[in-house]
Structure 1
Amino acid sequence: MPKKVRGDRKEEKISQIRFEDKYIAIQELHEKESLSIRLLCKIAGMARSAYYKWLNRTPSSREILNKEIIKEMKILHEKVDSTFGYRQMTFHMNRNFEEKLNHKRIYRLMKVAGLRSVIRIKKKHSKRTTPQHVAENILNREFTAEKPNEKWVTDVTEFKYGQSKKAYLSAIRDLYDGSIVSYVLGHSNNNQLVFKTLDQATVLLDGEHPLIHSDRGFQYTSKGFKRKIDAVKMTQSMSRVGRCIDNGPMESFWGTLKCEKYYLHQYKTFEELSLAIDEYIHFYNYDRYQKRLNGFSPMEYRAKAA
C-alpha cells in the first residue's frame, strides 16, 4: 500500500478518535432534543460531513476498545477525585486491560473524554478567578420540562460592532418551550449584566421555583448570584468543566441568533446591534415556528399550557 494512502487512513482514524466525544454528544442532543445537526456541528466546530461519516461507519476493534478504556477512566477519575494525570492513568489502565496501552494513547483519550488532573495543571497567562460557589450538574442534559418555569438555562455571548468594539448578551431560556424569558445587552461582561437578567426573569414568576443551569463563568459562581438564587428559592445547576454541550440548548440559541440575524448584517453602533437583537428575540418568541413545538412558536405553545 502506498505510504500516502496509509498516512491518510491513519490521519482519518486519529481524527475520529479525537472528536468521538463530540460526535456522541451531537448524536444524543439531536435524538433527544431534535436540535439541528448543522447547528450542533457549528457549535462543536466540525463539518457535518465528518459527523455523518462517523455516524455511518463500522466501528473498528480499536474504537470499541477506546470506548471501554474511556468508560473505565471516567470511573477511576471520579473515584480518585480527579487527581490522576495520564501517567497514573496509564498504570491503572494497563492493569485493567490485557493489551499494553501506550501513555500517548491514554493522554489522547483523556483529552477526548475531557478528563484532566486537578493537580499540577499547567499555568496559563490569563488571569483565572477562584469560584466562590460551585453547583453540581443537576440538569445532567435532561433538556425537557413538563411545565413553564420548571427548568431555565442561561449564558452570556459576545458580539462585535463598529471598529472591533464588543457587546455582551446575557439571556435566560425556558426549556419547556424554548422561549427567551429575559435578556440584557451590555458593554461589559460583568456581574451586573447577569444579575439584571436574573432580576428581570424572577419578577415574572408566580410562585414557581425553577432550576437554573449555567456554565461555571465567574458571574454564576459568585456569592452575589448564589444569594439571588437562594432569595427566590431556586435550584442552581452548573455544567461540568470543559463541557459546553452540557448547556446545549443555550448554545443552540446563540447559534440560531447569530446565523439568522447577526452574521447577515454589519452593525456600526451599539444601538443598531441592540435594535437587531430586540427584533430577533421578539420574532423568535412569537413568530418562529418550531417542529418540536408541533408547529407553534414558543409563546403560542406557552399560552396553550396556560
Structure 2
Amino acid sequence: MPKPYPAEFRRDVVAVARKHEAPLAQIAKDFGISEATLHNWLKKADIEDGSSPGVTEKEAAELREAKKRIRLLEQENEILRRAAAFFARELPPKMTYPLVLDLAADGIPVAVACRVLGFSKQAFYKWKANPVSDRDRADAHLINAALDVHLDDPAFGYRFIADELPALGISAGENRVQRLCSSQRIWSVFAKKRGLSRKAGPPVHEDLVDRDFTATALNELWLTDITEHRTDEGKLYLCAIKDVYSNRIVGYSIDERMKASLAVSALRNAVALRSPRGTVVHSDRGSQFRSTVFVRALKSNGLTGSMGRVGACGDNAAMESFFALLQKNVLDRRRWSTRQELRLAIVTWIEKTYHRRRRQRALGRLTPIEFETIETDLQAA
C-alpha cells in the first residue's frame, strides 16, 4: 500500500491548481500524481474551506472520536452488568479475574475490563499465569477441613477448630483459622455476632415422647442432656443418659469441652452396658445431639432419636430433675479446685449414692440397682 502524501505537499499542489495557470492534467503530471488524485484533493479542499457541502477532516475526527467513546461506554456498561453478581458478593479482586477472560473472549479489551473492575493489568496477567496459587490451595484445603470439623460439632468456633486441625495433619495458626472461618461464616452456634440473629437449629428427629416420661420396660426410653459446672481450672461438662423405667444412669461421659464427642461417648457407654435395640433416645435440640456423629451413632446401634422443642425445659423435665439433684448434692456443696476433683465427686455420687443408696418412691422405695435386679429376676422367671 503506497504511503500517503504529506499534508503540506497536498496543500501546495491544491494552491497551484487553484491558480489555473495550467491545465489540471499538466499540474498533476508536473507533481507526479494522477489527475484523479488531484481532483480528489481539490474536492476535499473545497469542503474544508466551506465552499462545498460535506464533512471536514475535523468533523470526521470528532465523529470517529465520538464513536470510539460510545463503543468504550458500551463496553464499560457490559462489564458492569456482568460483574454485578461479583460485586454483590463483595469478592476480592482476584475472584473476578475469570470474568476478564470471559469479557476478552467477547471482544472487550483486557485493559478496559481491568480498569473498570478496579485492578491492574499486571495483577490479572500474573493470575492468568498461575490461576491457583499454593496459598489458595492451602486455604481451600483448610476451609474444607474446618467445615468438616464444624459439621461434626456445630458448637465449635475457630479456636476449637484450630485445636482439632493438627489431628487431621494440618498446621495453621489461630489467626489464619479465624480469618478463613470468618470469611466462610463458620461460627459456633453459641457465638453472638453483632448484626446477626441466629435461630435454634432444626430438629433432626421428631418428638416421640411429648412429655410422657413413662416406660413399660427397661431400655424402652432413654433421656439425655448435658450439664456444666465451674472449677478453678475451668468448666467441666457431664453428659448423662437415664433409663426412664428404672431411673438409672445407664451411661455418662465427663470432659472439659462440650463437644459432640461428649454425647457420643456417653451413648457408647450406655450401649456397651445395656446392648439395647430400638430404644428411643430423647434429648433437647443441643448442637451435640444434632451433630452428624451423634445421629450416626444412634443409627448404627439401632436406636431411635427424639427431640423436644426449643426453650421448653418441660420437654426433658425428667432429665432436668436428675441434674437438679446432682446440683444440690454435689455441684453446689463446695468450691471445686480442679476438674479431676469434681469429676471423681460426680462419679462417686452417681455410682455409690444415686444408684445404690438413694431410694426413690417412684420405684417403690427401691434404689435403681435394686429395682433393675428385681425386674431382671422377674423377667427371667
Q: What displacement does 1:131 show?
A: 4.0
8 Å contact from structure 1 (residues 133, 223) kept in 2? no
Structure 2 partner of 1:107: none
8 Å contact from structure 2 (residues 224, 319) kept in 1? yes
Correspondence 1:150-165 to 2 at 5 A: 150-162=220-232, 165=234
- Structure 2: any 5+ residue segments left out of the alignment? 1-190, 377-381
8 Å contact from structure 2 (residues 235, 256) kept in 1? yes
2 CA distance for matches of 1:221 and 1:206?
23
> For 2:362, which of 278, 292, 295 is the aligned residue?
292
Q: What displacement does 1:177 show?
A: 1.1
1 CA distance for matches of 2:275 and 2:242?
17
Matched, 1:221 2:290: yes
2 CA distance for matches of 1:259 and 1:130?
29
Structure 2 partner of 1:246: 315
Which protein is richer in helix relative to its size? 2
Matched, 1:176 2:245: yes
Structure 1 partner of 2:334: 265
Q: What displacement does 1:209 show?
A: 2.2
Q: TM-score, normalised by structure 2?
A: 0.46
8 Å contact from structure 1 (residues 129, 218) kept in 2? no
> For 1:142, which of 184, 209, 212 is the aligned residue?
212
RMSD value over aligned CA atoms? 2.0
8 Å contact from structure 1 (residues 174, 180) kept in 2? yes
For the residue of structure 1 that corresponds to 2:372, the secondary structure is: helix
2 CA distance for matches of 1:297 and 1:202?
21
Q: What displacement does 1:234 show?
A: 1.0
8 Å contact from structure 2 (residues 231, 336) kept in 1? yes
Q: What displacement does 1:130 show?
A: 7.3
Q: Which amino acid aligns with 2:359?
A: Y
8 Å contact from structure 1 (residues 131, 222) kept in 2? no
Q: What displacement does 1:158 show?
A: 0.8
Q: Which amino acid aligns with 1:249?
A: A
Q: What displacement does 1:129 show?
A: 8.1
Taking only the aligned residue pairs, the percentage that are identical comes to 36
Q: What displacement does 1:208 show?
A: 2.9
Q: What displacement does 1:218 show?
A: 0.5
The CA deviation string for residues 99-133 of structure 1, in whole angstroms up to 9 with x for no partner, is xxxxxxxxxxxxxxxxxxxxxxxx96388587476
User: For the structure 1 residues 129 and 182, does the alpha-carbon distance in structure 2 shift closer, same or farther, using more than 3 Å as the test?
Assistant: farther
8 Å contact from structure 1 (residues 213, 239) kept in 2? yes
2 CA distance for matches of 1:206 and 1:173?
14
Larger radius of gyration, structure 1 or 2? 2
Q: Which amino acid aligns with 1:202?
A: V
1 CA distance for matches of 2:365 and 2:214?
17
1 CA distance for matches of 2:284 and 2:240?
13
> For 1:125, which of 193, 196, 219 is the aligned residue?
193
2 CA distance for matches of 1:210 and 1:137?
14
2 CA distance for matches of 1:235 and 1:185?
23
2 CA distance for matches of 1:260 and 1:194?
23
The CA deviation string for residues 149-184 of structure 1, in whole angstroms up to 9 with x for no partner, is 110000001110116x11110110000011101111
Higher relative contact order (CA 8 A, sep 6+): 1
User: For the structure 1 residues 276 and 249, does the alpha-carbon distance in structure 2 shift closer, same or farther, using more than 3 Å as the test?
Assistant: same
- Structure 1: any 5+ residue segments left out of the alignment? 1-122
Correspondence 1:40-55 to 2 at 5 A: none
8 Å contact from structure 2 (residues 250, 274) kept in 1? no
Q: Which amino acid aligns with 1:187?
A: E
Q: TM-score, normalised by structure 1?
A: 0.57
2 CA distance for matches of 1:133 and 1:259?
31
Q: What displacement does 1:204 show?
A: 2.2
Correspondence 1:266-285 to 2 at 5 A: 266-282=335-351, 283-285=353-355
8 Å contact from structure 1 (residues 132, 223) kept in 2? no
